[in-house]
Structure formats: C-alpha cells, structure tokens
C-alpha cells in the first residue's frame, strides 16, 4: 500500500544502493509493524539483495537495549559469543557499568557482515542505545529510527521538503551548541531553566547519506543533552508518548532531577514506578526544537516532537548523544506554544514566542 513512499524513503532519505547491506527490524508490539516489515523488505530488494530482517519480542520501554538475538543477527555469532564469555553482553543489555571501548574493540575484531544501512521501526525506540551507537560510531552505519511509527505519516510529516528541514535543523543545532542556558515557559504552567554549557547541538535532518548519520523518520528537530544536574523548575505534561493525558501532570525539577510529580493521572504512577526501578531515569536528558512544518499530530511522540513551533524535554538516558546518564529509559515530553530564551555570556536570544519561531 505504501510502496511508493517506502521507495522514496530508501532513495531520498537513506540513499540506499546496491553495495549496501540493509538491516530491517521491528518488535511484536503492534500487528501492523509486522506487516510493514514485509513491505520494507520487498521494496528494499529493488535497491540491494543483501537484506536481513527480523521481529523480536517487545522491550516495553523506550531506550532499552534490544535483545541478544538482534545483536547476533547484526554483529554475528562469534562477536556476541566473545562478549558473553567476557561477561560484557549482559552488562550492555542491562545498561550497567562496562567499558564501551572494550565492547567496541571486540565488535571491531570479531563482527562480520555488519549492516551499512539500518531501518529500525520497533514500537519502542532504539535511538538512545549502545546498540545504535556501536553501529553508527564504530561501523559507520546509516541508521533510521522510527519508534511509534504509523504508516499514515508517509502522507503527512514524511511528505515534506527535506532540504528545508535539514537547513532549519542545522541552523538551530548550531545555536544550541553556542548557547550556555535555556529557559522554557508555556501559558499552561511550564517554567523550566537548565544548562547546556559545553554540550553540542545535533540536527535531525531526515537525510542519512553519509557514514554514521542517524536520526528519526519522520525527522525534523535540533536537540542537545543538557547538563544532567542543572535543571530547575516545572514541566507541565499534557501528553504521554502515545496518548493525551486525562489530566495534566507536573514534574518539578531540582538539581537536574525530577524531585516530585503532581497530578492524579495513571501515567504519573507509571513514571514513579520507573523511578523506583531506575533512579537515574529522573534526570533531564534532552532538549529539542521541532522543525518539521508538515508534522501536526500531538498524540504520537515520534511526530509530536517534530512539530514546528514546539520544543520537547526528555528524562532518562542521554549517554549516546553527548550526555553522561546511562539508564534503560528515555522519554520526551512536548511543550506546546512555548516561549524559549537561550543565551550565553553577554547575549541572549528569543528563539520561540508562544510557538512562533523567531528570526534566526
């Protein structure tokens, strides 16, 4: 049904070619994803015959490392056996303390036929995982991550001028690199300040043509990893990743972490349970600015965080894109119609005013 759109993704976004080794994977969370992977594989054979694809059991959490079976398909039995013998694979999968350098070296020495291009669309995100980092940073794979993907997005936020998205995302990412602090406010109660000093802005352009490039599709954001211990204020949340909340909840940040949550809503108790299991999940992880003019859907985080005129704040893992926090959880929360100030020594700039992007 979406063959033309998948073909355009391979051609325009991924620049797939006959020399590529393509890996496709999803999870079993939603039936439609299992049907979609067959379409991706069928169209993919028009570009390359070297294709692997698999479906694994859902991890149930954004930011969790994918299961051993995917590691083995990706890097080969010999490499994964070596990691297991040294007691490293379990630590990686559980996001415990381990030497990334040692794991990377084993993979470089033992891995075989590693993919050069990846399209990952499990319902739960693999973007902020060491698995993704190893593929892009160690092996230079191009990595498309599509968590929460709904095929109707092919007709909306995927049907966009990618040149425009790329330029705007890059321009804002450069500003975030220059900035030392950010202040986000909304008319419905968000008032949050945090430090981004020394952290690099990253552009999610939607174009993955060069080795090691990664990001979401639909794409369209500029983001950075704030300093984990320097966030103060209130973040009012209207939407969970895949639904509108019945009642807003408010996260109160002190010293970078969520000190308390206010509001009677089931999602609050889910987050509090996450904090009990993974205390490091409460720290600020990401700040992003949406740059996709065709994105409009607020109830699906993959698209919502790309909406032009919004920003988003995440908690949890950020060690794969410039931060220090390593934990099996990462979730973003969108702020609608925000007013955003950024600045540094001797300067400040209004980036957004009530959801309107200011001249940059």
CATH of residue 115's domain is 3.40.50
Residues 76, 196 within the same domain = no
pLDDT at 359: 85
Number of domain units in the chain: 2
Residues 18, 128 within the same domain = yes
Residues 279, 231 within the same domain = yes
Q: Which two tokens stand for residue 248?
A: 């807003």
Residues 219, 349 within the same domain = yes
Residues 209, 125 within the same domain = no
pLDDT at 125: 95
pLDDT at 162: 97
pLDDT at 244: 97
Per-position DSSP letters for 30-78, written without gaps between them: -HHHHHHHHHHHHHHTTT-S-EEEEEE---SSTTPPPPHHHHHHHH-HH
Q: Which domain-ending residue is among 147, 173, 195?
A: 147
Provide the 3-class DSSP secondary structure of residue 355. coil
Taking only the tens of pLDDT, the chain with its 360 residues reads 799 999 999 999 999 999 999 999 999 999 999 899 999 999 999 999 999 999 999 999 999 999 999 999 999 999 999 999 999 999 999 999 899 999 999 999 999 999 999 999 999 999 999 999 999 999 999 999 999 999 999 999 999 999 999 999 999 999 999 999 999 999 999 999 999 999 999 999 999 999 999 999 999 999 999 999 999 999 999 999 999 999 999 999 999 999 999 999 999 999 999 999 999 999 999 999 999 999 999 999 999 999 999 999 999 999 999 999 999 999 999 999 999 999 999 999 999 999 999 987
Residues 328, 228 within the same domain = yes
Residues 216, 313 within the same domain = yes
The answer, as to whether pTM is greater than 0.85, is: yes
Handedness of CA 121, 123, 125, 130 (dihedral sign): negative
Residues 239, 303 within the same domain = yes
Residues 308, 237 within the same domain = yes
Residues 180, 298 within the same domain = yes
Domain of 108, in residue numbers: 3-147
Q: What is the dihedral of CA 104, 110, 113, 114, to 10 degrees?
A: -10
Q: Which domain-ending residue is among 147, 171, 190?
A: 147
Residues 132, 175 within the same domain = no
Residue 43's φ and ψ, nearest 5 degrees, are -70, -35
pLDDT at 1: 77
Residues 138, 161 within the same domain = no
């Amino acid at each position: 049904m979406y063959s033309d759109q998948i073909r355009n993704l391979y051609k325009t976004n991924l620049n797939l070619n006959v020399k590529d080794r393509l890996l496709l994977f999803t999870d079993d969370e939603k039936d439609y994803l299992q049907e979609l992977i067959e379409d991706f594989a069928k169209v993919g054979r028009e570009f390359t015959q070297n294709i692997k694809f698999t479906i694994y059991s859902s991890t149930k959490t954004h930011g969790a490392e994918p299961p051993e079976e995917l590691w083995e398909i990706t890097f080969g039995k010999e490499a994964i056996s070596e990691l297991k013998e040294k007691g490293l694979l379990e630590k990686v999968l559980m996001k415990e303390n381990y030497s990334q350098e040692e794991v990377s070296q084993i993979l470089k020495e033992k891995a075989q036929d590693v993919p050069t291009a990846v399209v990952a669309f499990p319902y739960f995100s693999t973007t902020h995982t060491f698995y993704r980092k190893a593929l892009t940073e160690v092996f230079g794979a191009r990595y498309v991550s599509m968590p929460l993907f709904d095929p109707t997005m092919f007709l909306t936020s995927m049907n966009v001028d990618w040149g425009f998205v790329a330029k705007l995302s890059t321009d804002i990412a450069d500003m975030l690199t220059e900035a030392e602090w950010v202040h986000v406010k909304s008319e419905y109660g968000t008032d949050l300040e945090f430090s981004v000093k020394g952290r690099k802005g990253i552009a999610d352009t939607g174009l993955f043509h060069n080795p090691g490039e990664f990001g979401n599709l639909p794409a369209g954001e500029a983001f950075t990893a704030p300093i984990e211990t320097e966030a103060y204020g209130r973040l009012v949340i209207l939407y969970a990743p895949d639904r509108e909340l019945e009642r807003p909840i408010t996260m109160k940040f002190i010293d970078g972490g969520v000190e308390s949550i206010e509001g009677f809503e089931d999602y609050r108790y889910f987050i509090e349970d996450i904090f009990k299991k993974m205390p490091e999940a409460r720290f600020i992880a990401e700040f992003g600015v949406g740059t996709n003019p065709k994105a409009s859907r607020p109830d699906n985080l993959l698209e919502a965080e790309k909406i032009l005129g919004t920003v988003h704040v995440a908690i949890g893992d950020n060690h794969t894109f410039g931060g220090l926090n390593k934990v099996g959880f990462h979730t973003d929360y969108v702020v609608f119609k925000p007013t955003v100030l950024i600045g540094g020594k001797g300067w400040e700039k209004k980036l957004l005013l009530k959801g309107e992007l200011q001249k940059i």
